[in-house]
Structure 1
Amino acid sequence: MKPATLGPDDLLPADRIPPPWPGRSVLLDGSVIHVRDTPATAPDAEPALYVHGLAGSAQNWTDLAGLLAGRLDGQAVDLPGFGHSDPARRYTIGSFADRIVRWIEHSDRGPVHLFGNSLGGAVAVRVAALRPELVRTLTLISPALPFLDFRRSLQGRMLPLLVIPRGERLAAWRLAQLAPELMAQQVLEACIADLTRIGEQRRREALEELRLRHQTEHHAAAYVRTFRGIVSSFLRSYLPGSGSLWRMAAAVRAPTLVIGGRQDRLVDVRVAPQTARVIPDSRLLMLDAGHVAQMELPRTVARAVLGLLDDVAKVRDRG
């Protein structure tokens, strides 16, 4: 592990708020996956794929992907059951990783620069460990790798739903009691350390996303079942066997950037440094931010990604 380096700020586009990405629905293996594209602004840009976290969507990557369009030809997908993608039969880190692998194969863009936030970080680690030929570099932002002290996460209060029969029905009832405006505010407060960093347009988009979720019958079940899958993967990671996410992290060979938020309220703040210690070729950046640093401090995150890309290019040129 070594400290992350920041690329020059003047290599990034001027401050602006990109509009929501144009999205498209693609039929893949019998179900719809929703994809948002950030076309490259340079001819030599390399492919990138962005994977969101629990209850997030592809929109979480709008600002970062826009800033990196001079280097990366970006795509972000809605995981099954979230955003505009169809629901799934299974909501486990393994099943999500399989879906990401299938998308990379289907789009024929691999190997890609793979990005993951929270749940998406755990998914990306699994993809990089099991299918290294598909991953050029790995960027993990507040990755949801295993920790057992759920007092360090606001989501710990969700644990009782996992032992209640048909807990997703109770979750659906609870969600129905909250107005989308109030829920959007609560989500932002849980994920963002400094809400003044989030502009009005992004707030409107978050509200629009939550209104969409209120209209889907599968949203509560997807959330609860995915959270159950995360907790199950955490527990398995401390038992013998090949399914441990920590063992998979140790097997990652792609050059990796790990970014953590010192004010993360959803993932134990000790996880990002531990992830960087476990992954062999890693760089660590800790920010004064919450759970979604790519939304809260997109320019700083983009500069760290430029540092990773430049580091990899130097190694390649020497070789």
Structure 2
Amino acid sequence: MHVVQDGPRQAPPLLLIHGSGVAGISWQAMIPALAARHHVIRVDLPGCGHSPPADSYEVTDQARRLADLLDDLGISSATVVGHSSGGYAATALAERRPDLVGRIVLISTGPSVDALLPQPAVLRVLLAPPFGPLLWPRRSDAMIRKGISATAARPVEISDAAVAELRRTTYRTFRRIIRANTAYLRQQAVPERLAGLGIPLLVVFGGADPRWDPQSARSYTAVPGSRIEMLPGVGHVPLWEAPDATAALVLEAAGGPTAVR
């Protein structure tokens, strides 16, 4: 996997995992605040950004790759932050190697399949047959920006560099990633997976998320000691819509009490 590291290497580590079809650059607006206090590790998951495609996009395989990365970097425990479906990889990492996960922060991570809302029209056209396979390779920069903006409740500024990164993911890879994430979620809801792990959890949700029912965030109360923060007037991408507020919540969570196992 392509990896970018920011901040002092001796500082407490933060692992940032992006959502489906995007890349590590999606965290860019939060990096200055996070890297001032942490060793920040951003990945491009396989098939996204600068990382080549993989044979498997199963969430458990993503977790294995992330565990191998932390082992290779010599990191024994990190605060793991996942945006959207990146939260499934974070959860699977905690299931596979709880020793590596000191805290978890889930941002806009749908807890169960029944929490998914009817998707914005532009996404339905871009992402699903019959038009998706035809339009995806021909996406203009404006179309990519429109697709991201459709998931936001506030105006967002998407850099040329971010657009270029998003363009690297092929339609076939994206569909395989979506299928793998859906299978993971259908197998067991995220709160149920985390409930017995004893790892401190912060859930951040936009109060105007158009992809996942914001009220579904309350299902995470099934995780003992969990904390839920709603961002009013924010949609599915707090990383772009409210980066300062989101970074502040991540920093607060990362500095909180560690798990007692």
CA 1:39–1:149: 2 relative to 1, 3 Å: closer
Q: Retained in 1: the 8 A contact 2:115–2:212?
A: no
CA distance in 1, matches of 2:179, 2:163: 25
Partner of 1:281: 225
Q: What is the 5 A alignment of 1:204-215? A: 204-213=160-169
Q: What is the 5 A alignment of 1:70-149? A: 70-148=36-114
Aligned pair count reads 258
Runs of 4+ in 1 over 3 A off after TM superposition: 149-158, 169-172, 210-213
Q: Retained in 2: the 8 A contact 1:139–1:257?
A: yes
2:230 is aligned with what amino acid?
Answer: M
Compute the displacement of 1:84 (Å): 0.7
Compute the displacement of 1:109 (Å): 1.6
TM-score w.r.t. the length of structure 1 is: 0.73
1:81 is aligned with what amino acid?
Answer: G
Provide Cα deviations, 1:49-75, integer angstroms capped at 9, x if missing partner.
100000110001112222122221101
Q: Retained in 1: the 8 A contact 2:3–2:43?
A: yes
CA 1:282–1:209: 2 relative to 1, 3 Å: same
2:102 is aligned with what amino acid?
Answer: R
Partner of 1:25: none
Partner of 1:189: 149
Instruction: Give the RMSD, CA atoms, in angstroms.
Output: 2.6
Deviates more, 1:119-128 or 1:264-273: 264-273
CA distance in 1, matches of 2:21, 2:204: 20
Compute the displacement of 1:44 (Å): 5.9
Partner of 1:172: 133
Task: Choose from 269, 272, 283 the match for 2:214.
Answer: 269
1:185 is aligned with what amino acid?
Answer: R
Q: Retained in 2: the 8 A contact 1:252–1:280?
A: no
Q: Retained in 2: the 8 A contact 1:113–1:138?
A: yes
Deviates more, 1:88-97 or 1:146-155: 146-155
CA distance in 1, matches of 2:68, 2:184: 21
Q: Retained in 1: the 8 A contact 2:20–2:177?
A: yes
> What secondary structure, in the 3-state scheme, does the structure 1 residue paired with 2:72 have?
helix
TM-score w.r.t. the length of structure 2 is: 0.88
CA distance in 1, matches of 2:135, 2:110: 25
Task: Choose from 204, 223, 230 the match for 1:259.
Answer: 204
Provide Cα deviations, 1:173-213, integer angstroms capped at 9, x if missing partner.
2212432x222222221232111xx34xx432232224444
CA distance in 1, matches of 2:71, 2:227: 28
Identical-residue share of aligned pairs (%): 26
Task: Choose from 153, 164, 174 the match for 1:223.
Answer: 174
Compute the displacement of 1:119 (Å): 0.8
CA distance in 2, matches of 1:252, 1:99: 20
CA distance in 1, matches of 2:166, 2:254: 34
Q: Does 1:299 align with 2:244?
A: yes
Gaps of 5+ in 1: 1-32, 162-166, 214-218, 238-243
CA distance in 2, matches of 1:312, 1:149: 30
